[in-house]
Structure 1
Amino acid sequence: MTAKIAYDDVEVGTELPARTFPVTRDTLVRYAGASGDFNPIHWNERFAKEVGLPDVIAHGMFTMAEAIRVVTDWTGDPGAVVEYGVRFTRPVVVPDDDKGAVIEVTGKVAAKLDDHTVRVDLTVTSGGQKVLGMSRAVVRLA
């Protein structure tokens, strides 16, 4: 399967549809079970605060995975992602309430590269603060 977006139809500056992803404590417990990452900073408020965090935080890999969904939804093919990397700049703090936290993701084509690939730069925030820096994906288009 290949990306449904044609390379020739994309220009530098093309914006991908923005997405928001809710994160609750329940989400973190489910992710811990699926990933095997049961670090108590992701589920134990007392422990998280004892190690200097403001509260329980989302798994970095979970945050990264939610962010790339903007790209994979846009291309229609997760296999179109050739390269993906981020810098973790701030944790996603997940309070123990009915709302939890929200990860907000926007993306833009930053460069057209060789071999039908483009670089997509993502902006990933939570609570108005950037949580992933240098979030970039290289994607092969049709």
Structure 2
Amino acid sequence: MPVPPSCTPARRPPVPDIEPGLDLGELRVPITRSDVVRYSGAATDFNEIHFSDRHARAIGLPGVLAHGMWTMGAGLRLVTDWIKDPARVRRYQVRFTRPVIVPDTDEGTEVVYTGQVTAVADGIATVTLTATCGEDTVLGAARVEVSVD
């Protein structure tokens, strides 16, 4: 009996030619205070450092900061846009090195992500990401492993 089309597995998008040294380019992601508040609601993380300068400064921060998980997730978009299939992501790890301070302006700030394939072995490509906000590196040791077979 033939399998109905709705029951057949979806075909994965083809994997681009991949080898170490491949540059994934750059992704610029703006963020404003409004974005931070919306993310707070979606994440149910209502820590005052994400919307109140007064609370942020009371604990020694220079101002309101973006959620670390937002910073991490926004960077993964560089990889998923390149690989065309988020299901290929097998592992993602980062070290948070500096917070993303979001000024109370209409423009907010911008995080710039770049990526490069650093290894390909056993059907897994390792991508090293960098993330900067102004002069500060905000993610360290950021690595994504994606299935390429």
TM over 0.5: yes
Measure, in 1, the Cα distance between the counterparts of 2:84 and 2:121.
20
Residue 10 (1) aligns with residue 22 (2): no
The yes-or-no answer on 1:140 pairing with 2:124 is no
Partners of 2:138 and 2:28 in 1: CA distance: 14
Provide Cα deviations, 1:60-90, integer angstroms capped at 9, x if missing partner.
Answer: 0000000000000001111110000000000
The amino acid that maps onto 1:40 is E
The aligned residue for residue 127 of structure 2 is 120
- The question of 1:35 aligning with 2:43 is answered yes
Structure 1's 3 and 134: CA in aligned 2 closer, same or farther, altered over 3 A? Answer: farther
Alignment of 1:1-142 (within 5 A): 1-6=11-16, 9-114=17-122, 116-142=123-149
CA radius of gyration, larger in? 2
The question of whether the paired residues in 2 share the 8 Å contact of 1:72 and 1:78 is answered with yes
Counterpart residue type for residue 15 of structure 2: I
Distance 2:109 2:43 in 1: 20
SS in 1 for 2:129: strand
- Segments of structure 1 that go 5 or more residues without pairing to the other structure are none
Classify the secondary structure of the residue corresponding to 1:69. helix
Q: Which has the higher contact order (CA 8 A, sep 6+)?
A: 1
- Secondary structure of 2:107's counterpart equals coil
1:3–1:141 CA contact under 8 A, matched in 2: no
Percent identity for Structure 1 against Structure 2: 47
Q: CA shift at 1:127, angstroms?
A: 1.1
Q: Residue by residue, what CA displacement relative to the aligned partner does 1:10-67 show, whole Å, maximum 9, x if unpaired? A: 1100001310000100000110111101111010111001110001000000000000
Displacement of 1:3: 4.9
Structure 2: runs of 5+ lacking an equivalent: 1-10
